[in-house]
């Protein structure tokens, strides 16, 4: 099971030392975790994810090139056409030699129409399921993961939304259930902070230990 730690800002080097698989940097200015600095040198095993909310393609491409991003996470109302065009523009510009992963976010509250995923199947590499709240991410609440029993796709997905140390037993149960068959990664953020963008290293260490039994 992969681990993504999102909302990086104040202590990315400390977090990177724990060797997560992905680190997320938010490029949406209204966010309290908005990132505007320079990303320090990270181990090559860690993928840098840029998080965007309905940003112009030119802005996304500029950030990919400037920060040498490995993936983009689209947290707004971006269409499948937007995702296709982003990948095509990336390939034509060749802003970097490696592939670009596109992660499209879908927010869930009480229920979800999985048919909306159909148009995105060919456009995205991963889906990410988060809790619908006032903000596009970082709301600190979990949704009912049993909804994912209905997941109709083979595309791997990230599980997000209010996951913290208090989620360990619930998460272990979910990851041992058929509903998690295509769960590729766990995405954590606000429940591992002492302030927005400042991660609690000790808590992350404990969480990583709890995940070791299901990592692959």
Residue 139 maps to which CATH number? 3.20.20.70
Structure confidence by residue, pLDDT tens digits, 146-193: 999 999 999 999 999 989 999 988 999 999 999 999 999 999 999 999
Domain containing residue 82: 2-214
Counted domains in the chain: 1
Mean of pLDDT over the chain: 91
pLDDT score recorded for residue 136:
63
What is the pTM assigned to this prediction?
0.93
- Residue 85 clears pLDDT 60, i.e. is over it: yes
Q: pLDDT-based confidence at 135, cuts 50/70/90?
A: low
User: Each residue of 27-64: b (16+ CB within 10 Å) or e?
Assistant: bbeebebbbeeebeebeeebbbbbbbbebeeeebbebb
Q: What is the pLDDT of residue 142?
A: 87
**Averaged pLDDT, 84-90:** 92
Token pair of 176 as six digits: 């041992």
Amino acid 97: pLDDT: 55
For the segment 88-117, the average pLDDT, to the nearest whole number, is 85
């Amino acid at each position: 099971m992969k681990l993504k730690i999102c909302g990086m800002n104040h202590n990315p080097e400390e977090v990177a030392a724990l060797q997560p698989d992905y680190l997320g940097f938010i490029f949406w200015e209204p966010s309290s975790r908005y990132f505007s600095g320079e990303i320090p040198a990270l181990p090559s095993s860690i993928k840098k994810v840029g998080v965007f909310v309905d940003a112009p393609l030119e802005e996304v491409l500029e950030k990919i090139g400037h920060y040498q991003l490995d993936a983009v996470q689209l947290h707004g109302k971006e269409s499948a056409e937007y995702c296709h065009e982003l990948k095509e523009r990336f390939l034509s510009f060749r802003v970097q030699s490696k592939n670009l992963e596109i992660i499209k976010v879908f927010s869930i509250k009480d229920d979800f129409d999985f048919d909306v995923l159909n148009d995105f199947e060919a456009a995205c590499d991963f889906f990410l399921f988060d809790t619908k709240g006032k903000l596009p991410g970082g709301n600190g609440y979990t949704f009912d993961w049993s909804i994912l029993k209905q997941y109709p796709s083979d595309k791997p997905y990230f599980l997000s939304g209010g996951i913290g140390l208090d989620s360990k037993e619930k998460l272990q149960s979910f990851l041992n259930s058929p509903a998690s068959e295509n769960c590729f990664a766990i995405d954590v953020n606000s429940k591992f902070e002492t302030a927005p963008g400042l991660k609690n290293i000790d808590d992350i260490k404990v969480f990583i230990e709890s995940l070791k039994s299901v990592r692959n």
